[in-house]
Amino acid sequence: MAILEILKVPDPRLKQVSEPVSEFDDVLQAFIDDLEEARQDGPAAVGIAAPQVGMFKRIVIIDCSGTRKPVPNHGHLILVNPEITHWEGYEPGREGCLSVPDYTGNVIRATHIKLSALDRHGEPLEFEMEGYEARAAQHEIDHLDGMLFIDRVVSRRTDLFQRKVYQKGGKRKKG
Partner 1 sequence: MSDKWQMLTLIGKDAPGIVAAVTSALADSGVSLGETSMLRLGGNFTVMMMVSGGADEARLRELLGPVIEARGMCLHVDPIDAHLHEHLVPNVQVTVSGADRVGIVAQVTAALAEGGFNILDLDSDVAGSADEPVYILLITGIATEPVEAIERRLEPLRADGVSVNVTPIETYIG
Cα separation values, 95 from 62, 107, 164, Å: 14, 7, 18
Identity of the residue, 124 or 171, whose beta carbon is nearer to partner 1 in the bound complex: 171
Instruction: List Cβ neighbours of 148 (8 Å cut-off, separation of 6 or more).
Output: 9, 14, 97, 99, 100, 142
Type of residue numbered 133: E
Closest-CA residue to 60 (of 42, 48, 72, 51):
48
Query: Cα torsion at 121, 137, 88, 151 (round to 10°)?
Result: -140
**Residue 126 falls in the annotated catalytic set:** no
One of 80, 140, 144, 153 touching partner 1 (CB under 8 A): 140
Q: Is 54 in the site for partner 1 (CB under 8 A)?
A: no
Cα separation values, 171 from 55, 89, 132, 167, 168, Å: 43, 12, 21, 6, 5
Query: Are 106 and 156 a contacting pair, CB within 8 Å?
Result: yes
Binding to partner 1, residues 73-112 (CB under 8 A): 93-98, 101-104
Q: Residues in contact with partner 1, total (CB under 8 A)?
A: 34
Identity of the residue, 46 or 118, whose beta carbon is nearer to partner 1 in the bound complex: 46
One of 67, 86, 121, 170 touching partner 1 (CB under 8 A): 67
Q: Which stretch binds partner 1 (CB under 8 A): 13-21, 27-35, 111-119, 136-144?
A: 136-144
Nearest distance in Å: CB 92, partner 1: 10
Q: Is 160 in the site for partner 1 (CB under 8 A)?
A: yes
Query: Are 90 and 108 a contacting pair, CB within 8 Å?
Result: yes
Q: Is 172 in the site for partner 1 (CB under 8 A)?
A: no
Identity of the residue, 90 or 103, whose beta carbon is nearer to partner 1 in the bound complex: 103
Residues at the contact surface with partner 1, assessed by CB under 8 A: 42-49, 62, 67-69, 71, 93-98, 101-104, 132, 135-136, 139-140, 156-157, 160-161, 164-165
User: Among all residues, which ones are annotated catalytic?
Assistant: 140
